Amino acid sequence: MSLTDLAQRAMVTACALTHTTEAATRRLGPAPFLPKLFADRFTHLGGIDKDEFHQQLDGCRSFEDANWAGYWEAIADRHLAAADAALAELGGPGTSELLGGGTVDVRALGELLAPAVTILADRDAAADPLAADRFCAENPVHADAATALDGLIKAMTYEFVAAWPGWSPLRLRAYERSHVLGEILLTALAPAMGVTIELVEIPFGDGDLVRGYFVVPNGAEKPPVVLLTNGVEGTLAEALLPLLKYRSGGIAMFVMEMPGTYAYRESLSPAAERVYTKVIDFLAGDPRVDGERIGLMGLSFGAYWATRMAAVDPRLKVAVANGAPTNRSFGPAASFGLPEIMVSTLSNAAGATSMADTLKKLGAMPIADYYARIPIPLLVINGADDTLVSTQDSIDIAIGAPHGELVLYDGDDHCAMGHGDDWIRLSYDFFRRHLLAADGAVRS
């Protein structure tokens, strides 16, 4: 780590300890107090030009709820207005109807947008900012469908930015708006993508729910299924959209958000293990998929759960853990350089009252003794230069697991975001190899 990086991390830590991040943000902008990959995750999801997003980010000089959420929702509204104009040309519903909670003919909306479905369905891990423009130039007769779809995707993404990292009232409102837009787009366009996408709610605990997307390829007879779980402040759409291009590969998917995040009442704790057990119960008993062939993929903190569940649930046949924080990432040293907004996020997720309490609660979650108990193939992935959690955790998991395989991407950061297409393809092939095997061969 360079002296410049050390100085930056020291400044961020000092602001966190003295609760002066907000004052510093008004002077410096929010970028120094955000995870290094903050911009990448949203530009990748929304197909947003990076220079444009960085300029927008610099213009937001506050993390306070009304200022932050209001700033990004104003940008979302501009994209909703563009979608509105295109939908009006198509004779479709307005975006106020989509977000208003009333009855929307989702199938009819899907038929209007279907000519441009490739913009959603065949994107790379980093969506192309020029995809809609290119589509309109090549298919002018369907330009309104492309413009409407692109506007809705970008509005969903900017609502997600407004929601990040959750917990406060206006952020949670933005999260729900982002979720509604994502649900409408995915369910409306599912027929055009050749899949069934259903929003499933699985109850657990004291009135809490797992909310997830169940994606089943049309015509597939009892396919295997992969459960996908994301990190502390991720959303269903963020996890699912990069995987849609593999929708016809013969594997069903169930995508859920990690316990302790946006939609949950219950805090993050070792007891969340039962939440994953509950979801696996659901998958094992659903007649649309083969309950004897279940895989699990976890991203970021979700990779912690992929590792843990691989050791404790015998119904899992294969697992992938990308960017897992475990023992080394839960120690006091890991808090150095952690922005105040991430400290509060982890504290809220864990139901903690202070950073010390957060470290205590996370300290109850190490799983190094689980590694040797993992009886199934486990693919461990990360960037070799993770700035958010310890890359050594990934190395330790792969070494400790009897059937562990390790892939680190040189020069890349948390979850190897810079190599998204590579590791998604690698993971999908890994699942195909272990879930579609019949008599030693892979079924096509």
User: Do 385 and 413 touch, CB atoms closer than 8 A?
Assistant: yes
CA distance 433 to 41: 29
CA dihedral (190, 100, 62, 258) in degrees, to 10, reads -40
- What angle do helix axes 169-193 and 65-90 make, rounded to 10 degrees? 30
Is 439 a residue whose pLDDT tops 60? no
Least confidently predicted of 61-65, 98-102, 160-164: 98-102
pLDDT at 443: 36
Rounded alpha-carbon distances, angstroms, from residue 65 to 43, 68, 171, 176, 311: 22, 5, 7, 15, 40
Q: Residue 368, by phi and psi: left (phi above 0), alpha (psi -120 to 50) or beta?
A: alpha
Q: Do residues 381 and 323 make contact, with C-beta atoms less than 8 angstroms apart?
A: yes
Higher pLDDT: 337 or 259? It is: 259
- Residues 346, 349, 355: CA angle, nearest 5 degrees: 40
416 has pLDDT over 90: yes
Model pLDDT, residue 440 = 40
pLDDT tier at 351, thresholds 50, 70, 90: confident
Per-residue pLDDT of 421-431, as tens digits, reads: 999 999 999 99
The mean pLDDT of 279-308, rounded to a whole number, is 97
Q: What are phi and psi of 379, to 5 degrees?
A: -95, 125
Give every CB contact of residue 301 below 8 A, 6+ residues apart in sequence.
231, 232, 258, 324, 325
Exposure of 101 by Cβ count < 10 A (0-12 exposed, 13-18 middle, 19+ buried)?
Answer: exposed
What confidence category does residue 266 fall into, taking pLDDT thresholds of 50, 70 and 90?
confident
- pLDDT tens digits along 181-215: 999 999 999 999 999 999 999 999 888 899 999 99
Residue 335 has pLDDT above 80, yes or no: no
Share of the chain above pLDDT 90, in %: 77
111: tokens are: 């038929």
Average pLDDT over residues 215-243: 95
- Which pair of tokens denotes residue 161? 């930015």
- pLDDT at position 316 is 98
Mean pLDDT of the chain: 92
Please give the pLDDT value at position 334: 64
Domains, the chain: 34-193 (no CATH), 195-443 (3.40.50.1820)
Rounded Cα distance between 34 and 103, Å, is 38
At 391, is the pLDDT very low, low, confident or very high (cuts 50, 70, 90)?
very high
pLDDT digits (tens, 9 = 90+) for 126-159: 999 999 999 999 999 999 999 999 999 999 999 9
Neighbouring CB atoms inside 10 A of 250's CB total 18
Assign 410 a pLDDT band (cuts: 50, 70, 90). very high
